[in-house]
Chain A
């Protein structure tokens, strides 16, 4: 089945630093999604990307849909303590089926 490789597995950064994480696959996806999950909660959608090469921003977050349709990255600028959580990439394939990466755990030192 479809598999996503998400990296890094975890990050421990200083408040104010920029963060970058990415997701790769051997399969092609027609949509890439980035979610954030806080402890004890379900994932919340941050950014959705629908076209190869698309670059989309949401506040301090920027994400890109890779030109090959097999990868995506998420950048967070000027991190703050509330950015702590687990970030998941997800790819949509075969119409509307979603497959998730294993997540990147973000910890911020204040």
Chain B
């Protein structure tokens, strides 16, 4: 069974630029999560989707971050404009439903200069 796929794996941008990350969850997983992991910290949930609907985006900085999962499968996370403090690894995870184990992708390491 293929795992959670993410791209790109690495991205370097200048502050005030825009960036987008892509996630393809495990086939059949209805729940998709985006986490931000700052160096030296544990992952922090940004947004949770159930199929194509948002369940929880309470910790998403909505003035600059947006995410969508239009067809209930793939998802994109966008940052516009980026700030220095957005430098982190962005992890995507998926699960069959919220009560099941979350499987994480390898993450996208973002560096904002």
Chain A residues within CB distance 8 Å of chain B: 4, 6, 40-45, 48, 88, 90, 95-103
Chain B residues within CB distance 8 Å of chain A: 4, 9, 40-45, 56, 91, 93, 98-99, 101-102, 104-107
Whether the pair B98, A95 counts as a contact (CB closer than 8 A) is: yes
Please pick, from B40, B56, B104, B106, the residue contacting A97 in the complex, using a CB distance under 8 A.
Answer: B56
Given A42-B91, A42-B93, A43-B104, does the pair A96, B99 have CB atoms closer than 8 Å?
yes
Given A42-B4, A42-B93, A95-B98, does the pair A102, B42 have CB atoms closer than 8 Å?
yes
* Closest A residue by C-beta to B99: A96
Q: List 25 A-B contacts (CB under 8 A).
A: A4-B42, A6-B42, A40-B9, A40-B106, A40-B107, A41-B106, A41-B107, A42-B91, A42-B93, A43-B91, A43-B104, A44-B104, A45-B101, A45-B102, A88-B43, A90-B42, A95-B98, A97-B45, A97-B56, A98-B45, A99-B42, A100-B41, A100-B43, A101-B42, A102-B41
Min CB distance A85 to B, Å, is 14
Please pick, from A97, A98, A103, the residue contacting B41 in the complex, using a CB distance under 8 A.
Answer: A103
Min CB distance B41 to A, Å, is 5
Within 8 Å CB of A6, what residues of B?
A: 42
| Residue of A42, A97, A99, A100 with most chain B CB atoms under a 10 A cut-off | A42
Min CB distance B62 to A, Å, is 17
Within 8 Å CB of B42, what residues of A?
A: 4, 6, 88, 90, 99-103
Within 8 Å CB of A44, what residues of B?
A: 104
Min CB distance B113 to A, Å, is 20
Within 8 Å CB of B106, what residues of A?
A: 40-42
Q: In whole angstroms, what is the CA distance A101 to B45 when docked?
A: 13
Min CB distance B15 to A, Å, is 25
Whether the pair A42, B41 counts as a contact (CB closer than 8 A) is: no
Within 8 Å CB of B4, what residues of A?
A: 42
* Closest B residue by C-beta to A103: B42
Whether the pair A42, B104 counts as a contact (CB closer than 8 A) is: yes
